[in-house]
Amino acid sequence: MAQPKIAKPLPHDDYIERSLLGAIFAEHAQASELLGILQPEDFLNPRNRNIFTQMRELCDAGKPPGLLNIYDRLAASKSLEAAGDIAYLSSLVDGVHKGSDVLTGARSLRRMATFRRVIHLSERVQKLAFEQAGSAEQLLDGAIEQLSELAQELESIEDDGTTYFDAGTEKLAELRQGARLKIYTDVDRLDQWTAGFREGEVVVLTAETGTGKSLAAEQIRARACRDGFRALFCSGEMSAAHLAGRGLAPAANVAPFKMRRDDLLTDEEFTSLVEAAAHQCKRCRILDGELELGRIRRVARKMRAHGGLDLVILDYDELIDAPGGNEFEQQKNIARFSKSLAVELKCVVILISQLRKTLSGEEAAKPTLQRLYGSGAKQKHASFIILVDRPYVRELEGDEKEAQLWLLKSRDGRTGKIKTMFNVKKLRFDDAQYAEGARSGEFGE
């Protein structure tokens, strides 16, 4: 017996619905604009739609749509249970950042509502076409008219850009107050050149296999954690326990190889590991196992709403399931996803990527952007592209501590080579004596 087909869910995003209601409750600076832009039908979740309807009615009556006022109205109309109890209403305010731009979310919600209306309109047109009701001309004219109305409504809420005056004022405020988010690498010279990674930026971190891409990313995560920022490390290669173990060994002064040779651990070393584990961060998180874009976005949004999120590390692109007819389309979609996530959540996204193998005539010791694996979307969306190089790994000879970082792209600054030292005991990249030689832009676009 054939199984019945499951209808596809209608476009919606409960997280955005809750966030916008919470912004209104929290008296966000753009709350009045939200109430002007949004309509009750933009909310697919019935209780969210009910809450917003009460908000609009309170505003029409000249009363503030605060939490207590909404609660009183819902209780008086005996619809409190249908709209969620006081605990649900209070939870809407959790994680609201009053300085964030919520109009982007409002436009997204309107677009999803428009898609739903297009779906319903298409179903009605299809039904009438099957029934051959009226003339074909009338059917088409009516459908075109309604689609045109939907398009005009959508155009009315689209972002029309920012004036140079407003943008300049915003930049001056940032310069005076300092950027909210600055993520550093813990390599002084590189941090001087980049001045820290900022919200909305994508950083591509690339290297040969086994050079230490994940170690460098974890070093950045640990520095961000010490600076009070919260990170999500998405690992498609290592389990959460394996990744955490890499950090425990140096913290406990235990030789890294013993994390796989537990039979060689002394009681004193295990005690040191226990003490180190007790001091591990309880705010930063690891997402391991099968990674796909939807799962990453859901977890990142949840962290953003409950406690905040400043840094997302994707390790690495080839191990993330993404839509696309071939590998290059998938790589393109991952790069676009990284930028979209950074902008939406106002965080930094570090995308770890492989290097393609050198071709005839190419010099591995002097890398270029063309060696970055995948499509040009990574170059397009990245604010910074950093290549980690260890000759010992690349040539299988020499000093295993010798290392260098190539800043191949910097949207606002210089590019070039930075000498570092790979600390084999601490599994990190440390500063080394800097040798001048690379000119600004030498290895840029």
Least confident residue range of 138-147, 259-268, 360-369? 360-369
Across the chain, mean pLDDT equals 85
pLDDT of residue 133 exceeding 80, the answer is no
pLDDT tens for each residue of 275-286: 989 999 999 999
Q: Which residues pair with 385 in a beta bridge?
A: 204, 409
pLDDT tens for each residue of 209-226: 889 999 999 999 999 999
Region 160-173 average pLDDT: 79
Is pLDDT larger for residue 438 or for residue 80? 80
**How many residues are there in the chain?**
445
pLDDT tens for each residue of 371-403: 777 768 888 899 999 999 999 988 888 889 999
pTM for the structure as a whole: 0.69
pLDDT of residue 5 exceeding 60, the answer is no
pLDDT tens for each residue of 312-352: 999 988 899 988 888 888 888 999 999 989 988 999 999 99
pLDDT at 438: 40
369, amino acid identity: L
Name the nearest CA neighbour of 416 among 385, 383, 390, 441. 441
Domain boundaries along the sequence of the chain: 9-157, 188-431
pLDDT at 436: 41
Specify the DSSP class assigned to residue 77: T
pLDDT at 2: 53
Alpha helices in 157-212 (DSSP H): 164-177, 188-194
CA–CA distance from 211 to each of 306, 360, 366, 397, 427 (Å)? 35, 22, 16, 13, 11
Give me the CATH code for the 188-431 domain, please: 3.40.50.300
CA–CA dist 28, 8 (Å, integer): 34
pLDDT of residue 437 exceeding 60, the answer is no
Count other C-beta atoms under 10 Å from residue 116's C-beta: 16
CA–CA dist 313, 254 (Å, integer): 26
Residues 300-334: b if buried by 16+ CB within 10 A, e if exposed: bbebbbeebbbbbbbbbbbebebeeeeeeebbbbb
> Chain-centre distance of CA 214, in angstroms?
18
Q: Could you give the strand order of the β-sheet that contains 416-423, starting from the edge strand earlier in sequence?
A: 285-287, 231-235, 311-315, 348-354, 202-207, 384-389, 402-410, 416-423, 428-431
Q: Do the two domains 9-157 and 188-431 of this chain adopt the same fold?
A: no
Region 190-207 average pLDDT: 95
pLDDT at 178: 80
pLDDT of residue 435 exceeding 90, the answer is no
pLDDT at 375: 62
pLDDT at 79: 73
Instruction: State the burial class of residue 197 (Cβ atoms within 10 Å of its Cβ: 0-12, 13-18, 19+).
Output: buried
Give the architecture-level CATH label for domain 9-157.
Orthogonal Bundle (1.10)
CA–CA dist 225, 217 (Å, integer): 12
Phi first, then psi, for residue 62 (nearest 5°) are: 80, 20
Residues 352, 316: contact at Cβ < 8 Å? yes
